[in-house]
Structure 1
Amino acid sequence: MNAEDVAHYLRTHPDFLNEHHELFAELTVPHPRHGGQAISLAERQLHALRDKIRLLELKLAELIRFGEENDDISGKVHRLSVTLLLAGSVASVRQAVISSLQDDFAVPHVGLELWAVVAQPEACGVSEAARRHIDSLRHPYCGAPESIEVASWFGEAAPHVRSLALMPLRSQGVCFGLLALGSAEPERFYPEMGTLYLNRIGELVAAALAARAA
């Protein structure tokens, strides 16, 4: 018999070791951490179970951490929502958005550009080509600034912005502006990051602006 035959036999006869339980104490295998030391099958199984428990504990700790982070972000989005509900004008919505993102979300640089619905196109500093690009986004863009114009949306802070998030602002399917978040940290906003909350923030801001302009 070769090793595969033995393994096959044990798989097809699960009661074998139960019927010959003395083998657990008689057979030995190398220690998983100390190669020169031999231990019984039962002890080896105990080590395997402990390793699995450690992995499960690490996974549970990670899930708890993610849950706490999501709760924290949800609380910040809720506070932003309440502030936007209390804002009585486009100007106050703008100020509420900038203050919330800078103070509560710790985003150092915030840009809000509007070119339709709540503003005249000629009053906007976004080119027609950039507007078409923003309109084509179906999800927030996260990553490095793609052009000098994009960086310019942060005013004097433009030279310091190394990563950003761009959120199209839409009302009834019409893109009328964008919300831009910028950071000097290259990895603050990166292409693979989740955009669930960015989407929600963009929708909240768009709805508040469109409602005040009506």
Structure 2
Amino acid sequence: MTAPTLPPIVAPITEDDIAQFLLRTPGFFERHAQVLASVQIANPHGARAVSLQERQAEMLREKIKGLEQRIMEMVRNSTDNATIAHKLHQWSAALLQIEDRGGLPQAVVDGLRTLFDIPQAALRLWGLEGLEGLDGMGEPGIDARFSQGASDDARALASSLTMPFCGPNLGFEPALWLAQQAGDPAASLALLPLREGAVDSASPAFGLLVLGSPDPQRFDAAMGTDFLARIAELASAALLRLR
């Protein structure tokens, strides 16, 4: 007597099987439009179910809202950049009009504080042959605040920077140059090396420009430094007249 033949074991259909079938059969919903119309999906913003078309429309609205927010952010950034570029132009034009070379350091600092609303700014210069000789050239001498007080360590720090430094006030010596200025102590700093040529060149620095703010986020470590680099290069070009 032979044993009865058992029916083959069929694996249950899974959700992945259904998904793969629908992907391989794009005409399914064309032939069964009523199925697509009756599909109900849970609404992520409430307990009620919505149709597939409603859910797709809602997803499109959310996507459009996200794109609108990105566009608005781009517009704001563009406006901010245009404002900064205009201020850079004003500052550069003012420096070009300075006839008294001895007044250049003060003009650099005053222009930055006024045009860019920077609470504190300081500058130290060294290694320029003309610094010591300005008094004997029939011109007002450079203020000693700008030509004295930078130690060898501060000078080495300036020469080591190949881009502006932004971050919290960690007690760098240049931060002390801001101590005599009014207002709360600087919580964040920007250190801009001054050198001949591009800010990232290998030439040694002849000065350091320090910007400070009591706002710890004003010069955040994650901020872009392109405009600060342009400020450093423009200030360097102007101050090289002191040679």
Give the TM-score of the pair, scaled to structure 2: 0.80
Alpha-carbon spacing, 1:155–1:32, altered in 2? closer, same or farther (3 Å): closer
* Mapping of residues 29-178 of structure 1, within 5 Å: 29-35=41-47, 37-117=48-128, 118-119=130-131, 123-147=147-171, 149-157=173-181, 160-171=185-196, 173-178=203-208
How large is the Cα RMSD of the aligned pairs? Answer: 2.0
The CA deviation at 1:146 is: 3.0
* Correspondence for 1:188 among 199, 203, 218: 218
Cα distance in 2, alignment partners of residues 134 and 163 from structure 1: 17
Q: Look up the SS of the partner of 1:143 in the other structure.
A: strand
Farther off after superposition, 38-47 or 1-10? 1-10
8 Å Cα contact 1:145-1:162 kept in structure 2: yes
The CA deviation at 1:186 is: 1.5
Identity %: 38
Q: Look up the SS of the partner of 1:138 in the other structure.
A: coil
* Correspondence for 2:26 among 2, 14, 38: 14
For 1:124, the aligned partner's letter is Q
Deviations 1:122-163 (A, max 9, x none): 942110011111100111111223336222211413861111
Higher Cα radius of gyration: 2
- Point out the structure with the larger helix share: 1
Cα distance in 1, alignment partners of residues 94 and 100 from structure 2: 12
Q: Look up the SS of the partner of 2:118 in the other structure.
A: coil
Q: Look up the SS of the partner of 2:60 in the other structure.
A: helix
| Structure 2 unaligned blocks of 5 or more | 1-12, 133-143, 198-202
8 Å Cα contact 1:32-1:44 kept in structure 2: no
Deviations 1:152-175 (A, max 9, x none): 211413861111101000015231
**Number of residue pairs matched?**
211
For 1:116, the aligned partner's letter is G
| Structure 1 unaligned blocks of 5 or more | none
Farther off after superposition, 53-62 or 171-180? 171-180
The CA deviation at 1:102 is: 1.1
Farther off after superposition, 147-156 or 1-10? 147-156
Q: Look up the SS of the partner of 2:127 in the other structure.
A: coil
8 Å Cα contact 2:195-2:206 kept in structure 1: yes
Deviations 1:105-125 (A, max 9, x none): 0001110100112535x9421
Give the TM-score of the pair, scaled to structure 1: 0.90
Cα distance in 1, alignment partners of residues 76 and 205 from structure 2: 36
Cα distance in 2, alignment partners of residues 137 and 10 from structure 1: 59
8 Å Cα contact 2:175-2:210 kept in structure 1: no
For 2:42, the aligned partner's letter is P
